[in-house]
Amino acid sequence: MTRILILGGGGMVGQKLARRLLDTGTPADAITLHDLGFPPDGAAVADKRSGDLSVLAEGAALAAERFDLIYFLASVVSGEAEADFDKGWQTNLTPLWAFLEALRAQHRATGGAYVPRLVFTSSIAVFGGPYPDRITDDFLQSPQTSYGAQKAACELLIQDFSRKGFIDGMALRLPTICVRPGKPNKAASSFFSGIIREPLNGQPAVLPVADTVRHWHASPRSAARFLTHAATLDTARLEGRRALNLPGLSCTVAEQIEALRDVAGNDVVKLIRHEPDETIQRIVAGWPRDFDPVRARALGFEAESDFKDIIEIYLADDGPVR
Amino acid sequence: MTRILILGGGGMVGQKLARRLLDTGTPADAITLHDLGFPPDGAAVADKRSGDLSVLAEGAALAAERFDLIYFLASVVSGEAEADFDKGWQTNLTPLWAFLEALRAQHRATGGAYVPRLVFTSSIAVFGGPYPDRITDDFLQSPQTSYGAQKAACELLIQDFSRKGFIDGMALRLPTICVRPGKPNKAASSFFSGIIREPLNGQPAVLPVADTVRHWHASPRSAARFLTHAATLDTARLEGRRALNLPGLSCTVAEQIEALRDVAGNDVVKLIRHEPDETIQRIVAGWPRDFDPVRARALGFEAESDFKDIIEIYLADDGPVR
């Protein structure tokens, strides 16, 4: 039995991943979730560990259990990493580095036999402008946020630990996940989901940027699928470049809103109120708008091609009963 | 008086830099050198501190002196970082990070008034193949050595600390410095200098790779000039991308050898013995061959355009009396 650890397993993506694993036949007792806390109505996994990876000994203890497959999703979100410089670097880089060292100690202790697959959720925030119209797979990482810099630094560690054979890792640069269920979070990208989710639930939503803003999206369902696909991939096919730009959908906020109008009608759209926020505008202005993810597509990663599908997926998986 | 700290000031580039500063009018008492040790015939600077930056408190004490300009050249070389994984990461990343945190503490202690210029020597080892014929300024960092990964991670930290205004930093991706004076070192690139230097000094030299290998070079004199130029640059012109690919000269080992023949004659060239080394071949095969450093050239950085000039500079600055 492949034993799976999901670090950050209490978060939205971690929960989606756990449910997908269960839905596709993974036995519940093969899965361990670790996070600061868990939602009360979460995925039906018994082995839930409440803890804090920034206590480095906790990560080392988990590493000593020698899981076969480790998903590293634990992270402070972009807005929080930007607001709290210390917390960002100490939460988004230090624990990953210490955990990789702990895995390497297990590798050594087993005479090199233990080489776990590790799948890390990176982000398109590793990029910074100016951008070409579509970002290619060989475009430089020049992050303009602390969050992006932390994710890029983690990618470098994962690549080097993998190159040395201590782990078999990869980093997935997720598009902005949309529509996120639940409540807004401190990510600067939170509104991309909010302007769809809140109106569909009969609530007002604030749009803090112009509707001409173009961005790169994939659904939570795609995110979970990316992660399970990555776990089974032959990493030799990555040819030493273990960070991947994933497929997604490029669209403007206006196109998002028109898709919402098509799916749910004019009255729902009227719940969106434009209220410019300079801080969010400045952060979002530095974000990628479109990609040409040739490598990931060739490796079998897939995402949505129509924003209406993204809305329908939200309604099917998380939305209010219609 | 601008007070200057050179970390790694005992090394080859640090010494070249100190001499250039003195030659161009910097008072000797404005310069502080820090390193594990210093050459006996070194640059005429009185304030030489023997120490170890991997003792993090030492870096913090230096930061507390609030130098105006800091050159961060201290590093374990590529071959050593590859052979000793722990030493590489603990020497090439941890002390830089801790030092940046210590500078940030000084920034905070002065109510934000202290924002030192920091110039970091990065390397073209941040890149990994496959490459285009010429590497452009927006090519991805995908290092294939621990040394390259460490340099790339340092760049991310310097960029983020600078973006936040704690320091005013930049990272210079130096070409392979050639001809290095003195003895071979543990860098995998050491032979690029050795095949010129040793024969010119009447000594045999080993060429561990094929003479078709193409690589990217600049002289030690150019390295020192890059560093002093960077110190006075208006960093607003970097537009948020604080790591720069520097100018250099692309040539093959065969072209290096022909230049040596032109400058010093056939008998000198005969001192080169081809002795393939698979480890060095494998490392060098992953290195860049040519660049198109548009940004750095526009910012006024310059290097040699003929390998004969590189040899002549060695003879003028470091070579045997002819």
Give CA A101 to chain center in angstroms.
23
Q: Which three-class secondary structure string do you get for A89-138?
A: HHHHCHHHHHHHHHHHHHHHHCCCCCCCEEEEEEEHHHCCCCCCCCECCC
Which residue of B lies nearest to A156 if distances are taken between CA atoms?
Answer: B149
Token pair 């590497």 is found at B135
Predicted confidence (pLDDT) per residue in B128-172, tens digit: 999 999 999 999 999 999 999 999 999 999 999 999 999 999 999
The string of pLDDT tens digits covering residues A50-79 is 999 999 999 999 999 999 999 999 999 888
Query: What are the pLDDT digits (tens) for B2-31?
Result: 999 999 999 999 999 999 999 999 999 999
* pLDDT at residue B282 greater than cutoff 70: yes
Delimit the domains of chain A by residue range: 4-175+218-245
Set of chain B residues whose Cβ sits within 8 Å of the Cβ of A135:
none
**Given this model, what pLDDT does residue B319 score?**
83
Distance in Å, alpha carbon of A15 to nearest chain B alpha carbon: 31
Question: Which of A121, A122, A142, A146 lies closest to A131, judged by CA?
Answer: A142
Q: What is the pLDDT of residues B69-87, one digit of tens each?
A: 999 999 998 889 999 999 9
Shortest CA distance from A97: residue in chain B: B89
Collect all residues of chain A within an 8 Å Cβ-Cβ radius of residue B141.
140-141, 156
pLDDT value, residue A284: 86
Please write the tens of the pLDDT for every residue from B224-245: 999 999 999 999 999 999 999 9
Residue A279 pLDDT:
87
Q: In this prediction, what percent of chain B has a pLDDT beyond 90?
A: 93
Catalytic residue among B71, B114, B131, B147: B147
Tens digits of residue pLDDT in A165-187? 999 999 999 999 999 998 888 78
Choose among B267, B240, B237: nearest CA to B163. Answer: B240
- Stretch A151-155: mean pLDDT: 98
In angstroms, rounded to a whole number, what is the distance separating the alpha carbons of residues B107 and B166?
Answer: 6
Q: What is the mean pLDDT of residues A193-215?
A: 96
What mean pLDDT do residues A242-265 have?
98
Say if B94 is an interface residue toward chain A (CB within 8 Å): no
Is the CB of residue A160 less than 8 Å away from at least one CB of chain B?
Answer: yes
Mean pLDDT score of chain B: 96
Query: Is it the case that residue A198 has pLDDT exceeding 90?
Result: yes
Which amino acids of A are annotated catalytic?
147
Beta carbons within 8 Å of A36's beta carbon, 6+ residues apart? A10, A50, A51, A52
CATH topology of domain B4-174+219-245: Rossmann fold (3.40.50)
Average pLDDT, integer, range B183-189: 82
Which of A132, A140, A157 is opposite residue B140, by nearest beta carbon?
A140
Q: Which of B138, B164, B239 sits opposite A140 (nearest CB)?
A: B138
Angle (CA) B113 A149 B84, round 5°:
105
Residue of chain B minimizing CA distance to A245: B140
Helix (H) and strand (E) counts for chain A?
13, 12
Does the pLDDT of residue B126 top 80, yes or no? yes
Q: How far is A47 from chain B (nearest CA, A)?
A: 34
Contacting residues of A for B138, CB less than 8 Å apart: 132, 139-140
Long-range contacts of B25-29 (CB under 8 A, 24+ apart): B26/B2, B27/B1
Rounded to the nearest integer, the mean pLDDT of chain A is 96
Strands (E), chain B: 4-7, 31-35, 47-50, 69-72, 117-123, 168-174, 176-177, 205-207, 214-218, 243-245, 249-252, 272-274
pLDDT higher at B277 or B283: B277
Helix (H, G, I), strand (E, B) or coil at A6: strand
Among A92, A156, A238, the strongest candidate for a mutation testing the B interface, having the largest count of B CBs within 10 A, is: A156
Using CB atoms, pick whichever of B132, B137, B159 lies closest to residue A149: B159
Q: For the residues A135-151, what does the mean pLDDT come to?
A: 97
Closest chain A residue to B145, measured at CA: A160
Decide if A103 touches B, using CB distance below 8 A: no
> Mind telling me how many Å the CA of B75 is from chain A's nearest CA?
18
pLDDT at A290 over 70: yes
Domain A4-175+218-245 CATH (choose: 3.40.50.720, 3.40.250.10, 3.40.50.620, 1.10.3720.10): 3.40.50.720
When CB atoms are compared, the residue of A146, A149, A160 closest to B146 is: A160
Name B249's bridge partners: B217
* pLDDT higher than threshold 60 for residue A156: yes
Residues 163-192 in B contacting A (C-alpha not used; CB under 8 Å): 163-164
CA angle at B36 for the pair B33 and B37, rounded to the nearest 5°: 75
pLDDT at A322 over 70: no
Q: In what order do the strands lie in the sheet with B249-252?
A: B176-177, B214-218, B249-252
B294 close contact with A: CB closer than 8 A: no
Instruction: Report residue A321's pLDDT band, with 50, 70 and 90 as the boundaries.
Output: low
Is there a contact between A78 and A189 (Cβ–Cβ < 8 Å)?
yes
pLDDT value of residue B321:
56
- ipTM > 0.90 for the complex: yes
Residue B186 has pLDDT above 80, yes or no: no
* pLDDT at residue number B187: 80
Length of chain B: 322
Q: CA B238, CA B301: separation in Å to the nearest integer?
A: 13
Cβ–Cβ gap B138/A143 under 8 Å: no
Q: Point out which residues pair with A35 in neighbouring strands.
A: A50
Number of helical (H) and strand (E) elements in chain B, helices listed first: 13, 12
Per DSSP, the three-state class of B117 is strand
Chain A CB within 8 Å of residue B146 CB: yes
Q: What's the pLDDT at B25?
A: 97
Contact B51, B99 (CB under 8 A): no
